[in-house]
Amino acid sequence: MWGALSDLTKSTLLVVGALFPIVNPVGNTPIFLSLTRGLSSRGRTMLARMIALNGLILILTSIFVGTYILAFFGISLPVVQVGGGLVVISTGWALLRQASDDGTSEKDGRKECNEADYTRQAFYPLTLPLTVGPGSISVAITVGANRPEGVEAHWPLIGGLLLGSALIAASIYLSYRFAERIERTLGDSAMNVIIRLSSFILVCIGVQILWNGLSALLRTVVR
């Protein structure tokens, strides 16, 4: 009993420890607010729920069947990193160049919630690549690939992977759900500075992911 509980805890902590710093939902909060300007508080709550659910599906898919999907299409992990890095760079660059005064007119009168508008953005770009990007997917696939063989029926390991993924999804929901409260606490000027810094960091993360993929591909060429 205690051995199973220990395995469950280790597996859960493995997923949370590996993915939480990369997903970084708290750090993505300013960018989430910037991309959802004009939505009401109710709209952002629904959107946060959708992003958390999408993120959970992406993480679980990457952990349990990610290696099989890549093998089926003949795609290597470095190629995923290169393509994903380019998408992350593009998103961060667009946010970095975004005008800083387009939030003033919307504060005077918020637009009505239009479900079609935010549901179209729920998966791209808010879930992928902003929240669960190529870095997170690569790590999740690696975690899944490193599972010991023959443990499909070993419930503590499977349960830990599921629980850890659910905890990551819960952190995404809570961070985005209370994003407006964080914005009110910090104020407009501080949030604008944080958005610029977060956008620049997002570009840097994209470059790093791109370089990781390119380095792995170049090593194969040299060999």
HEC per residue, the chain: CHHHHHHHHHHHHHHHHHHHHHHCCCCCHHHHHHHCCCCCHHHHHHHHHHHHHHHHHHHHHHHHHHHHHHHHHCCCHHHHHHHHHHHHHHHHHHHHCCCCCCCHHHHHCCCCCCHHHHHHHHHCCHHHHHHCCHHHHHHHHHHHHCCCCCCCCCHHHHHHHHHHHHHHHHHHHHHHHCHHHHHHHHCHHHHHHHHHHHHHHHHHHHHHHHHHHHHHHHHHHHC
In a domain, 7, yes or no: no
Domain count, the chain: 1
Q: How far, in Å, CA of 163 to CA of 154, rounded?
A: 14
Cis, bond preceding 134 (omega within 30 deg of 0): no
Q: How far, in Å, CA of 157 to CA of 4, rounded?
A: 9
In a domain, 55, yes or no: yes
In a domain, 110, yes or no: yes
pLDDT-derived band at 204, boundaries 50, 70, 90: confident
Nearest C-alpha neighbor of 54 from the set 147, 124, 155: 124
In a domain, 81, yes or no: no
What is the pLDDT, as a whole number, of residue 189? 79
pLDDT-derived band at 104, boundaries 50, 70, 90: very low
Q: How far, in Å, CA of 127 to CA of 25, rounded?
A: 11
In terms of pLDDT, which residue wins out, 72 or 152? Answer: 72
Instruction: List pLDDT tens digits, range 156-180.
Output: 888 999 999 999 999 999 999 999 8
pLDDT-derived band at 100, boundaries 50, 70, 90: low
What is the pLDDT, as a whole number, of residue 222? 83
In a domain, 116, yes or no: yes
Give me 219's structure tokens. 């090593």
In a domain, 122, yes or no: yes
In a domain, 198, yes or no: no
Residue with tokens 């395995």: 7
Q: What is the share, in percent, of the chain residues with pLDDT greater than 90?
A: 26
Position 98, amino acid = Q
Give me 158's structure tokens. 């499977």
In a domain, 71, yes or no: yes
pLDDT-derived band at 110, boundaries 50, 70, 90: very low
Instruction: List pLDDT tens digits, range 144-154.
Output: 877 665 545 57
Q: Which domain holds residue 111?
A: 13-76+97-188
Among 53-57, 155-159, 196-200, name the one with the lowest average pLDDT.
196-200
